[in-house]
Amino acid sequence: MTSPNPRPFTYIHERLTCSGADLTDLAERFGTPLYVYSADAVIDRTAMLQAAFAPLPHTLCYAVKANSSLAILKLLAAQGCGFDIVSGGELERVRRAAPNALPHVVFSGVGKQLWEIDAALHADILLFNVESEAELELLSQRAQARNKIARIALRVNPDVFAETHPYISTGLREHKFGIAIERARDVYRRAAALPGIDPAGVSVHIGSQIRSVEPFAESLQRVRSLVEDLRSDGLNIRFVDGGGGFGIEYGTAAFDPAASVSAYASALCRILDGLGAHLLLEPGRFLVAQAGALLTRVLYTKQNGTKHFVITDAAMNDLIRPALYQAHHEILPVIATDRPAQVADIVGPVCETGDFFARDRTLPELLSGDLAALLDAGAYGMSLASHYNTRTHPAEVLIEAGDARLIRRRETLDDLLATELT
């Protein structure tokens, strides 16, 4: 049975709400553009994954890059999550938001810097996902220097095709990520001989926004075979990091997250059954994307020939996914009206033709002063925001049990310019 609405954004008496909080009221209180998140929706998605993978010992290591707001990290840590980080900055975010979660951090990424490695060793994180032999050698040197043991997993590249946007596909030979799975045994032998290195796991990540279970299953089957080979070589491999990338539905097609998770978990649990390894998963988008929306106000409307434009106070610097990935975000008027439908480009004020949220989108007519919500913006929205055109960052609000809490104040021009020297 399909869930009636996988998003927490619903109309109550013709007014759009988030987990019961009226978005019109939020715009009046906090201004626009404004990111709005539902804590209840994040908790529900986390519980969904925890329950589905209960047959296996596992840890959800939330991908911090999806949404790195401190309040979101604290919320997820309270649900028993660890974290997947890709920078020293993200490590510091975890340390500030949820220091007790540091032993459940995995550090991914192809270009770890020396200071980042040292900080992670000092924090005694769970696992380094190593992506090159050069990184492995440096990690050994730094672990020795600090009298530490670095638990590592090689991120293997299984050469599995995942049908997704080419910018977020990571599992093929031509991508910069990982080590070819055919070479992995040799590299693990080298790792076992290096001082300060504990080869503890195998890691794989094939991409993001993947809606089919088959690529995950195929890559995990190859990882299982590798784990068995490594154990026969005498290595104590006790972690399998299955990566992240489990996708959502951004459009209006039916989407039942519980059924999708069930199929995903069933396939992975079947493949790893009896292996005796602790499964690490790195969900990001699935947990937070549909829990969030970007609230914006219409500044102007205009007609250029046959094209109608709706110009909002949010722009590509606030939500770059449509410009960067040609991504679709549903757009809803915050106040439902009986105005006629209109085909329009929904655009921002940034001085780029690429500054758009939708092109030739059919929506109820939007007029100057109206509020609109761009849905499914909880992942890779604020975390990809920029200051292009010297525009300040939006504020962020978290809705918990119907109450709105400011979790990031609106940035000022003084904030933006504070680090610059003349």
Q: What residue type is 395 in one-letter code?
A: A
Token duo for residue 284? 């990001």
Tell me the residue type at 100.
Answer: N
Cα–Cα distance measured from residue 190 to residue 420, given in angstroms and rounded to the nearest whole number: 46
CA dihedral over 156, 92, 393, 406, signed as positive or negative: positive
Among 342, 343, 341, 356, smallest CA distance to 311 is for: 356
Active site annotation includes 269: no
DSSP 97-158: H-GGGGGGEEE--S---HHHHHHHHHHT-SEEEE--HHHHHHHHHHHHHTT--EEEEEEEE-
Classified as helix, coil or strand, 350 is: coil
Q: Is 407 left (phi over 0), alpha (psi -120 to 50) or beta?
A: alpha
Other Cβ atoms closer than 10 A to 218: 19
Q: Rounded to a whole number, what is the distance in angstroms from the first to the last CA of the chain?
A: 62
Alpha-carbon 79 to chain mean position: 17
Catalytic residues: 351
